[in-house]
């Protein structure tokens, strides 16, 4: 008994020691496995980092190519011949942006469903309907031999990198996360399709026609006209007698480019600069993301010495400078997309009426592969004018009625933008540059130019249809009547052009670029004039301008819209305040210097109030899916307020109780919302608490990936959609649109350019060039890129 009592405690102890021993062994094994896995994952991720030093042997090169990566990650590519240059550009760009390139060609081609699944099906159908890739195929057929050779050399360079990825098992992790285990070879057609997509991104117009068409079919004529961008003098065409096509059935699901896609640019003559030479500035406004839309490079060979930016996937430099000239663009925004009402045969959905006869439209079958389900054979109908877009989300014949909407668009024609681009990369003066522009048709752009010889010049360039009656561009036109077919275009020599003006500067900011005497119609919808008026104010008021002044102007936060409207608001609101918070808000607005600074409260009050005014004006009357097509809403709202303030009676103001009531209600609702969000002490409110910059990665929406792809939280940021420092935010305040690239070039030293690419050059989150320019972009700290003297890490590409 005693022995048993003595032995009982001993047995559990031995058992416990044994259990502890095995537990420790298992934990040790797990630790080794986890550490090994982390080491493998880390090694795998790092394997796809761009190589910036050493030597790489590549099949397809004729001679050795030197690539110097400067301290900001800009590759300076030096080749002994032109084709090796573009081969190397393809390879080097792929090293930094291969996943972006893959997504870009898939988006433009309507092939995202193949990897992402059914959620992308409607978007793919839309791009298959438009036919950007079909338009690129037509363009490929008319290119000259030199351009085709450049396209092929670039594609060969990209494919050399794709093959290297496969051989070394170094495909970036993003491919695996997106469900891509392999990548098809790159082709010249892919590059041209991406080019067509950029024309799409900058060519929106039909949606405003659809919106006007909706108004005419749901409101009295005069009520509808109040929201038109221009009052139709001749009234609507006979389309109003036709069966109504429900624009909400399909068109509200279309991919509509951001209406704020635009830019600033200006050129200042040496007469107004400290250096005595012209200075050119450009900052295109597109979506802000990680990686940037823009990729900066310097290309040097016997026929090229050019620096600037390009879209990843396209050869050459689209914006920048060489050692003689500099150039930049803003969007003209002309009416290059025209909707047509088409009469379809009641018994055959592929036949349409034209001048009293029925013709057979083209039927194109597009096979869309969808991840996780069977492929879809999708039919596209192309009329005389262009593809039928009013049924893309539902299918041919699925929408009731025998009337449909098609779209005519100049970018769907065969065009040769790459040839033009290569020519102005080599241009040495305005005459050569303008000659090159004749081949640049879509998108239509305001080209700004400056040269070492002292010339400054401007041309609103592109293929712009001639409208005999400008009112026709406000609404869809009758597709059955040949007199409405747009088959003539503004002659190249008659496009708006300015060379060496007396005021010694030229500027554009997507504003109206023509006067009343210009003989051709270009557009009814221009950007709000505030960015342009601030640029003109700044340049007019100063002489002895420097590159630093131009950088300062690009970062300018002056709000000319507020300067115009705050006095009106103050006049209407007066001292009538229903609360202490409202009284304090009025005081803040009255004392505001109209700078949209991130530390101030007044910009928050002003911009939120404008949004509340728009909500009160349109929210109850217009469905959300229709408002998405209301391009130029801001311009329209401005005009309604100004016209009403001047005494004009307007339905949209009157239904809100008149201007005084509209502004009073909107102000009170704004202050209440802001008080709920930011507290009762208005002195603690800051524009930057709401308005914040965030360069979101495509995959950062997956929660656990955000800490890798977007390690830093959103940061307070100034400016707004109407300041020269363009910074448009979403409803949640996140700034997702602005100048992803800023550029200044003083032609006194044409070999030097000042740039910022936000947030950086590389798409690889482990790269030192991933978001290395983010803080500089926020603060306006530019880096100098030279094309005659540069240093950094050297990579040699050898045959």
Q: What is the pLDDT of residues 530-553, one digit of tens each?
A: 999 999 999 999 999 999 999 999
CA 762 vs CA 100, 105, 390, 529, 758: distances in Å: 10, 18, 39, 35, 11
Residue 4 pLDDT:
41
DSSP state of 617: H
Which of the listed residues 355, 386, 412 is the one where a domain comes to its end? Answer: 412
Answer yes or no: is pLDDT of 34 > 80. no
210: in domain = yes
Which of the listed residues 388, 412, 436 is the one where a domain comes to its end? Answer: 412
Average pLDDT over residues 76-93: 98
Ligand-binding site membership of 746 (annotated) = no
Which of the listed residues 369, 385, 412 is the one where a domain comes to its end? Answer: 412
DSSP state of 394: T
Residue 349 domain boundaries: 206-257+336-412
Average pLDDT over residues 124-130: 96
Average pLDDT over residues 457-482: 95
Residues that are catalytic = 263
667: in domain = yes
Most confidently modeled of 59-73, 224-238, 380-394? 59-73
Residue 7 pLDDT:
41
* Better-scored residue on pLDDT, 232 or 196: 196
Average pLDDT over residues 571-580: 85
Residue 202 pLDDT:
85
Answer yes or no: is pLDDT of 17 > 90. no
Residue 3 pLDDT:
40
488: in domain = no
Average pLDDT over residues 646-667: 96
159: in domain = no
d(CA 3, CA 469): 114
550: in domain = no
Answer yes or no: is pLDDT of 1 > 50. no
Banded pLDDT at 506 (limits 50, 70, 90): very high
Angle of helix 560-573 relative to helix 602-618, nearest 10 degrees, comes to: 70
Residue 753 pLDDT:
98
Residue 18 pLDDT:
66
Q: Tell me what percent of the residues of the chain surpass a pLDDT of 90.
A: 83
Strands 715-716, 741-746: parallel, antiparallel or unpaired by DSSP?
A: unpaired
Residue 699 pLDDT:
83
Banded pLDDT at 262 (limits 50, 70, 90): confident
Banded pLDDT at 9 (limits 50, 70, 90): very low
Residue 366 pLDDT:
94
Banded pLDDT at 45 (limits 50, 70, 90): confident
Per-residue pLDDT of 373-390, as tens digits, reads 999 999 999 999 999 999
Banded pLDDT at 397 (limits 50, 70, 90): low
Cis peptide before 759 (omega within 30 of 0): yes
Cβ burial, residue 51 (10 Å; 0-12/13-18/19+): middle
Answer yes or no: is pLDDT of 241 > 90. no
Answer yes or no: is pLDDT of 14 > 60. no
Residue 6 pLDDT:
43
Most confidently modeled of 47-51, 395-399, 698-702? 47-51
d(CA 747, CA 756): 18
Average pLDDT over residues 475-498: 96
Answer yes or no: is pLDDT of 30 > 90. no
What's the CATH code of the domain at 577? 1.10.1400
* Better-scored residue on pLDDT, 397 or 191: 191
Question: Encoding tokens for residue 453?
Answer: 């010889």
Answer yes or no: is pLDDT of 31 > 70. no
Q: Identify which of 459, 3, 462, 108 has the alpha carbon closest to the alpha carbon of residue 267.
A: 459
60: in domain = no
Answer yes or no: is pLDDT of 19 > 70. no
Do the beta carbons of residue 473 and residue 524 sit within 8 Å?
A: yes
CA 32 vs CA 39, 40, 47, 158: distances in Å: 10, 12, 22, 39
Residue 2 pLDDT:
38
Answer yes or no: is pLDDT of 44 > 90. no
What's the CATH code of the domain at 221? 2.30.120.10
b/e sequence 495-520, b meaning 16+ C-beta within 10 Å: bbebeeeeebbbbbbbbebeeeeeeb
Average pLDDT over residues 622-648: 95
Residue 16 pLDDT:
58
Answer yes or no: is pLDDT of 305 > 60. yes
Average pLDDT over residues 248-269: 89
The average confidence (pLDDT) of the chain is 92
* Long-range CB contacts (within 8 A, 24+) of 705-710: 705/177, 708/765, 709/290, 709/765, 710/290
Answer yes or no: is pLDDT of 29 > 80. no
Give the CA angle between residues 600, 606, 610 to the nearest 5°.
155
Average pLDDT over residues 325-341: 96
Answer yes or no: is pLDDT of 452 > 80. yes
Per-residue pLDDT of 704-716, as tens digits, reads 777 778 888 999 9
714: in domain = no
Per-residue pLDDT of 770-794, as tens digits, reads 999 999 999 999 999 999 999 999 9
Banded pLDDT at 253 (limits 50, 70, 90): confident
Per-residue pLDDT of 765-776, as tens digits, reads 999 999 999 999
Average pLDDT over residues 644-665: 96
268: in domain = no
SS3 268: strand
Count of the separate structural domains present in the chain = 3
Alpha helices in 592-686 (DSSP H): 602-618, 624-627, 633-645, 651-654, 659-678
Banded pLDDT at 5 (limits 50, 70, 90): very low
Residue 285 pLDDT:
96
Residue 707 pLDDT:
74
Q: Tell me what percent of the residues of the chain surpass a pLDDT of 70.
A: 93
Residue 75 pLDDT:
98
């Amino acid at each position: 008994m005693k022995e048993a009592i003595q032995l009982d405690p001993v047995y559990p102890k031995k058992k416990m020691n044994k259990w502890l021993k095995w537990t420790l062994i298992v934990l040790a094994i797990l630790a080794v496995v986890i550490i090994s896995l982390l080491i493998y994952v880390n090694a795998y991720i790092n394997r796809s980092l761009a190589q910036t030093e050493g030597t790489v042997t590549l099949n397809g090169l004729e001679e050795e190519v030197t690539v110097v990566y400067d301290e900001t990650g800009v590759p300076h590519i030096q080749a002994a011949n032109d084709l090796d240059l573009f081969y190397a550009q393809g390879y080097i760009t792929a090293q930094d942006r291969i996943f972006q390139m893959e997504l870009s060609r898939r988006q433009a081609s309507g092939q995202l469903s193949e990897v992402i699944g059914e959620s992308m099906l409607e978007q793919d159908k839309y791009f298959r309907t438009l036919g950007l890739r079909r338009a690129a195929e037509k363009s490929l057929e008319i290119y000259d031999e030199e351009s085709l050779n450049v396209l092929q050399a670039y594609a060969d360079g990209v494919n050399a990198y794709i093959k290297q990825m496969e051989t070394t098992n170094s495909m970036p992790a993003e491919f695996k996360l997106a469900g891509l285990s392999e990548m098809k070879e790159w082709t010249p057609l892919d590059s041209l399709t991406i080019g067509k997509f950029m024309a799409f991104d900058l060519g929106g117009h039909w949606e405003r026609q659809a919106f006007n068409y909706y108004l005419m079919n749901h409101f009295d004529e005069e009520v509808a006209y109040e929201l038109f961008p221009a009052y139709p003098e001749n009234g609507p065409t006979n389309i109003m007698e036709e069966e109504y096509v429900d624009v909400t059935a399909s068109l509200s699901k279309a991919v509509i480019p951001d209406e704020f896609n635009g830019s600033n640019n200006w050129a200042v003559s040496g007469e107004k600069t400290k250096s005595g030479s012209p200075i050119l500035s450009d900052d295109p406004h597109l979506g802000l993301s990680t990686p940037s839309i823009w990729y900066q490079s310097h290309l040097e060979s016997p026929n090229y010495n050019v620096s600037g930016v390009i879209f990843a996937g396209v050869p050459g430099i689209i914006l920048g400078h060489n050692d003689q000239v500099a150039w930049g663009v803003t969007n003209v925004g002309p009416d290059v997309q025209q909707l047509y009402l088409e009469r379809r045969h009641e018994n055959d959905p592929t036949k349409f009426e034209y001048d009293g006869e029925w013709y057979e439209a083209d039927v194109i079958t597009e096979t869309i592969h969808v991840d996780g389900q069977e492929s879809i054979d999708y039919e596209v109908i192309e009329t005389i004018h262009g593809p039928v877009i009013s049924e893309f989300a539902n299918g041919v014949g699925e929408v009731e009625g025998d009337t449909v909407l098609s779209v005519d668009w100049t970018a769907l024609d065969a065009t040769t933008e790459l040839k033009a681009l290569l020519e102005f990369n080599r241009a040495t003066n305005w005459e050569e540059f303008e000659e090159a522009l004749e081949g640049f048709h879509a998108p239509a752009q305001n080209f700004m130019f400056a040269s070492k010889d002292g010339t400054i010049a401007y041309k609103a360039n592109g293929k712009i249809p001639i409208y005999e009656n400008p009112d026709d561009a406000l609404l869809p036109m009758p597709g059955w009547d040949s007199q409405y077919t747009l088959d003539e275009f503004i002659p190249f020599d008659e496009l708006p052009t300015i060379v060496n003006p007396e005021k010694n500067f030229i500027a554009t900011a997507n504003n109206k670029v023509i006067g009343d005497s210009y003989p051709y119609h270009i557009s009814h919808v221009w950007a709000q004039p505030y960015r342009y008026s601030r640029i003109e104010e700044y340049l007019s008021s100063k002489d002895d301008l420097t590159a630093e002044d131009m950088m300062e102007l690009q970062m300018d936060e002056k709000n000319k819209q507020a300067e115009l409207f705050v006095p009106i608001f103050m006049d209407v609101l007066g001292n009538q305040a229903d609360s202490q918070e409202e009284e304090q808000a009025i005081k803040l607005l009255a004392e505001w210097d109209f700078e949209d600074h991130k530390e101030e409260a007044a910009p928050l009050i002003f911009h939120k109030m404008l949004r509340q005014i728009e909500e009160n004006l349109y929210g109850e009357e217009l469905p959300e899916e229709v408002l998405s097509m209301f391009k130029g809403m801001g311009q329209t709202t401005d005009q309604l307020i100004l016209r009403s303030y001047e005494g004009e009676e307007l339905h949209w103001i009157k239904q809100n109780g008149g201007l005084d009531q509209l502004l009073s209600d909107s102000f009170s609702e704004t202050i209440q919302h802001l008080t709920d969000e930011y507290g009762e002490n208005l002195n603690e409110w800051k524009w930057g608490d709401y308005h914040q910059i965030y360069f979101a990665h495509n995959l950062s929406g997956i929660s656990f990936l955000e800490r890798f792809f977007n390690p830093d939280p959103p940061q307070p940021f100034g400016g707004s959609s109407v300041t020269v420092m363009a910074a448009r935010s979403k409803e949640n305040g996140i700034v997702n649109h602005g100048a992803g690239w800023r550029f200044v070039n003083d032609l006194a030293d044409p070999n030097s350019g000042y740039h910022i690419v936000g947030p950086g050059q590389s798409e690889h989150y482990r790269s030192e060039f991933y978001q290395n320019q983010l803080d500089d972009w926020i603060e306006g700290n530019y880096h100098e890129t030279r094309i005659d003297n540069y240093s950094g890490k050297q990579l040699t590409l050898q045959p």
